Chains A and B, each alone.
Chain A
Amino acid sequence: MSFPAAARLTLRDTQLRRNLAKATSTIREKRARAVGELDDWEALREAGEAIKAYTMATLDEQLERLEASVTRAGGTVHWARDGAEANAIVAGIARGQGAREVIKVKSLATDEIGLNKALEAEGISAIETDLAELIIQLAHDRQSHILVPAIHRNRAEIRALFERTIAAGRQLGDEAAAIADAARLHLREKFLSVPVAVSGANFGVAETGTVVVVESEGNGRMCITLPEVLITVMGIEKVLPRWRDLEVFLQLLPRSSTAERMNPYTSLWTGVREGDGPREFHLVLLDGGRTDVLADPIGRQALHCIRCSACLNVCPVYERVGGQAYESVYPGPIGAILTPQLRGLENAPTLPWASSLCGACYEVCPVRIDIPRVLVHLRERVVREVKSPIAPEALAMRAAGAAFASRGRYERAQRLARFGRGPLARAAIPGWTAMRDLPEPPKETFREWFRAR
């Protein structure tokens, strides 16, 4: 579905509108306060941007360093060209362990490649252990936020869902803690019994081979320490050259995403260690269209994203349409520039227009991704590479361009516009007047007044 069509549907969901408006306005204010505490926030953003730009410029080298470091530390590195390859690798490892179930740390990369479905086809069920991901999984719903996938659900809806599923037959009451406890009970059993875990990665340090997961609930810590085998699926853009780069990102990420000075759980692991944690560690490095994105000198900055979701929380479009209208695991402003590049412009041609170019996203992005600039760049590419040059819009734009190119034609067009008859007016007016009045046409143009004075 096109973005405007999908948005038309989600805009009608009054519960979604209310939940999102409340949630995003709260987190917006909290983020602003958390960021305001740091005198060097702008310098940190610049450092984050510089490290990411350097990483992308040397990506091949960094990935080989990462592979060598992980291997040296006792891990195994797998290279996956696309989602299908990555899924097959994960399924193969799980099958090799005879696993019927795997537990999962919240991971966008595995959502992107549809890992859960692929495992299900192999008879392996993937159990989400992040609270919000669990809610989505139990409700057979789709995520609507990068960090808070169930942001469109409120407490009453979640209680009802749990009472239907993992807490069947029990009355959970109205307290958030009691509702969360039902999930805790359900998950503890899984943590202690399932032998294989799958995670994503926030960062992978090339220098040391260390993989980092940043989280709030502690479920990730359980998943990466208790099972026998740990498999991490990591997008290749998540590599960082040096250990000390973490200093920058571990400040930028929590303040931008949850408005915390530091998130509750930061787990770092380097390969395997005798008698401590998993005895097998597999790192699956996923391309999945990322090297194509890297080839676009303007669009590639979308790969700098650290998935904090600050841009979603400030976006006036996202706040109203919700994440599902973007039809991708990456919604909001970052999704509008990432999804079309990862999937190919022809497969998401309306997403670059899912923005009023208000610039709020760029203002908060912790790694200074100039999202409005990339949006405009992708619009240019869609116009050039995907759209028909004889589509009504393209013809109207060309006609307007020709009119503006000469004073004579422009002044004649002005006279037409006064009566609402220009080609551009004809194309644009129905969309406009469905909901708004047009201004009264003035009796004379400015230039006519200026000439006559």
Chain B
Amino acid sequence: MRLALFVTCFNDTLFPATGRAVVELLERLGHEVEFPFEQTCCGQMHGNSGYAAQAEPLLERFGRVFADHEVIVSPSASCVAFVRDRRPELSGRLFELTEFLVDELGVIDVGASFPHRVTLHPTCHSLRLLGVGDRPRRLLEAVRGIELVPLPAAEECCGFGGTFAVKNADTSMAMLSDKLRRVLDTGAEVCTAADNSCLMHIGGALSRQRAGVRTLHLAEILAAQE
């Protein structure tokens, strides 16, 4: 299948390894990945922060850049949820990575190998806006060598929330403290999720605490062949 990757501005700039992992994974599964270079940002940050005047042109732009692509795949649940909500006409062609793998390609075992102890933060937008359900967990369970440990109160927000993390930094950090405690309690070496935004928040505090736990986007585990 030929598909277009919407990597998101966030991953493009700060987490290129996630984008590389998506490309490697989908190519390994026998698909052809295109990357429309005109893509920038879907407008989520502006849209969720109340700056509709800036978000709308970016959504328009997104529609134009991907107009000729039948299938668009993205490793960000929150960006996909935002675009689907604001541009329902794109919903049928735009997929979050785990949805695409499980529903469109029908694969659970992607041939990955990752011999580490891992816990999954399911992310609010994956769960409650996209409704991806247990797809991320099923994909991870099929990874060879992985030791997947459940995260208590997993469905609770980590406190990122885009600009919330900065505008309400104290409250955001109070939420994150509880999330960190639960992540550390699992004894996992890696905390994963289908969105790097939550992971930048969780990982930023784990790093500050020298906690000995790293964050890794789910795509990077699914691409791994350790």
Q: Which residues of A contact B (CB under 8 A)?
A: 3-4, 7-8, 11, 17, 316-317, 320-321, 352-360, 362-363, 376, 378-383, 394, 397-398, 400-401, 403-407, 410, 414, 417-418, 428, 431-432, 434-439, 441-442, 444-451
Bound Cα distance A445, B8 (Å): 12
Instruction: Please judge, given known A-B contacts A380-B50, A432-B166, whether A356 and B124 are in contact too, CB under 8 Å.
Output: yes
Q: Assess whether A439 is in contact with B9, with CB atoms less than 8 Å apart.
A: no
> In the complex, what residue of chain B is closest to A325 when comparing beta carbons?
B171
Q: Assess whether B208 is in contact with A437, with CB atoms less than 8 Å apart.
A: yes
Q: Which residues of B contact A (CB under 8 A)?
A: 7, 9, 11-20, 23, 35, 37-38, 40-41, 43, 45-54, 57-58, 61, 124-125, 128-129, 155-157, 159-176, 200-201, 203-205, 207-208
Q: Assess whether B166 is in contact with A428, with CB atoms less than 8 Å apart.
A: yes
Q: Assess whether B160 is in contact with A356, with CB atoms less than 8 Å apart.
A: yes
Q: Assess whether A320 is in contact with B61, with CB atoms less than 8 Å apart.
A: no
Partner of A437, one of B49, B51, B125, B207: B207
Partner of A446, one of B7, B45, B167: B7
A410 contacts which chain B residues (CB < 8 A)? 9, 40-41
Q: Nearest chain A CB to B68's CB is how many angstroms away?
A: 17
Partner of A435, one of B13, B52, B125, B169: B169
Bound Cα distance A4, B164 (Å): 10
B162 contacts which chain A residues (CB < 8 A)? 356-357
Q: Assess whether A357 is in contact with B201, with CB atoms less than 8 Å apart.
A: no
Bound Cα distance A401, B49 (Å): 12
Q: Assess whether A397 is in contact with B175, with CB atoms less than 8 Å apart.
A: no
A438 contacts which chain B residues (CB < 8 A)? 204
Q: Nearest chain A CB to B167's CB is how many angstroms away?
A: 5
Q: Assess whether B52 is in contact with A432, with CB atoms less than 8 Å apart.
A: no
B14 contacts which chain A residues (CB < 8 A)? 417, 439, 441-442
Q: Assess whether A437 is in contact with B204, with CB atoms less than 8 Å apart.
A: yes
Q: Assess whether B16 is in contact with A436, with CB atoms less than 8 Å apart.
A: no
Instruction: Please judge, given known A-B contacts A401-B58, A414-B13, A439-B15, whether A356 and B175 are in contact too, CB under 8 Å.
Output: yes
Instruction: Please judge, given known A-B contacts A436-B204, A436-B205, A439-B200, whether A353 and B40 are in contact too, CB under 8 Å.
Output: no
Partner of A320, one of B46, B57, B175: B175
B46 contacts which chain A residues (CB < 8 A)? 397, 400-401
Q: Assess whether A404 is in contact with B171, with CB atoms less than 8 Å apart.
A: no
Q: Assess whether A363 is in contact with B128, with CB atoms less than 8 Å apart.
A: yes
Q: Nearest chain B CB to A2's CB is how many angstroms away?
A: 10
Bound Cα distance A17, B170 (Å): 14
Bound Cα distance A380, B168 (Å): 18
Q: Assess whether B57 is in contact with A405, with CB atoms less than 8 Å apart.
A: yes
B37 contacts which chain A residues (CB < 8 A)? 407, 447, 451
Partner of B38, one of A357, A407, A451: A407
Q: Assess whether B159 is in contact with A356, with CB atoms less than 8 Å apart.
A: yes
Q: Assess whether A407 is in contact with B40, with CB atoms less than 8 Å apart.
A: yes
A380 contacts which chain B residues (CB < 8 A)? 50-52
Partner of B129, one of A317, A359, A414: A359
Q: Assess whether B45 is in contact with A432, with CB atoms less than 8 Å apart.
A: no
Q: Identify the interface centre among B14, B155, B204: most chain A CB within 10 Å of its CB.
A: B14
Partner of B161, one of A356, A394, A449, A451: A356
B52 contacts which chain A residues (CB < 8 A)? 380, 383
B51 contacts which chain A residues (CB < 8 A)? 380, 383, 394, 397, 401
B38 contacts which chain A residues (CB < 8 A)? 407
* Known pairs A397-B46, A442-B15, A447-B7 / 17 extra A-B pairs, C-beta < 8 Å: A4-B167, A321-B171, A353-B164, A354-B168, A358-B128, A360-B128, A360-B155, A383-B50, A397-B51, A405-B57, A428-B166, A434-B169, A437-B208, A442-B16, A445-B12, A445-B13, A449-B16
Instruction: Please judge, given known A-B contacts A316-B156, A446-B11, whether A439 and B204 are in contact too, CB under 8 Å.
Output: yes
Bound Cα distance A183, B204 (Å): 50
Q: Nearest chain B CB to A102's CB is how many angstroms away?
A: 38
B164 contacts which chain A residues (CB < 8 A)? 353, 355-357
A428 contacts which chain B residues (CB < 8 A)? 163, 166
Instruction: Please judge, given known A-B contacts A4-B171, A404-B58, whether A445 and B128 are in contact too, CB under 8 Å.
Output: no
Bound Cα distance A383, B19 (Å): 33
Q: Assess whether A431 is in contact with B207, with CB atoms less than 8 Å apart.
A: no
Partner of A316, one of B41, B128, B159: B159
A-B contact pairs, 21 of them (CB 8 A): A11-B171, A316-B159, A353-B163, A353-B168, A357-B124, A359-B125, A376-B47, A401-B46, A403-B40, A404-B41, A404-B58, A404-B61, A410-B9, A414-B13, A417-B14, A431-B169, A435-B169, A437-B205, A437-B207, A446-B12, A446-B18
Bound Cα distance A442, B20 (Å): 13
Bound Cα distance A446, B14 (Å): 9
Q: Identify the interface centre among A437, A441, A446: most chain B CB within 10 Å of its CB.
A: A446
Q: Nearest chain B CB to A286's CB is how many angstroms away?
A: 30
A398 contacts which chain B residues (CB < 8 A)? 54
Q: Nearest chain A CB to B48's CB is how many angstroms away?
A: 6
A400 contacts which chain B residues (CB < 8 A)? 45-46, 54
Bound Cα distance A369, B225 (Å): 45
B175 contacts which chain A residues (CB < 8 A)? 316-317, 320, 356
Q: Assess whether B165 is in contact with A431, with CB atoms less than 8 Å apart.
A: yes
Q: Identify the interface centre among A7, A382, A403, A451: most chain B CB within 10 Å of its CB.
A: A7
Instruction: Please judge, given known A-B contacts A357-B162, A439-B204, whether A7 and B128 are in contact too, CB under 8 Å.
Output: no
Q: Assess whether A404 is in contact with B9, with CB atoms less than 8 Å apart.
A: yes
Q: Nearest chain B CB to A436's CB is how many angstroms away?
A: 3
Bound Cα distance A8, B167 (Å): 12
Q: Identify the interface centre among A358, A431, A438, A449: most chain B CB within 10 Å of its CB.
A: A358
Partner of B204, one of A3, A11, A432: A432
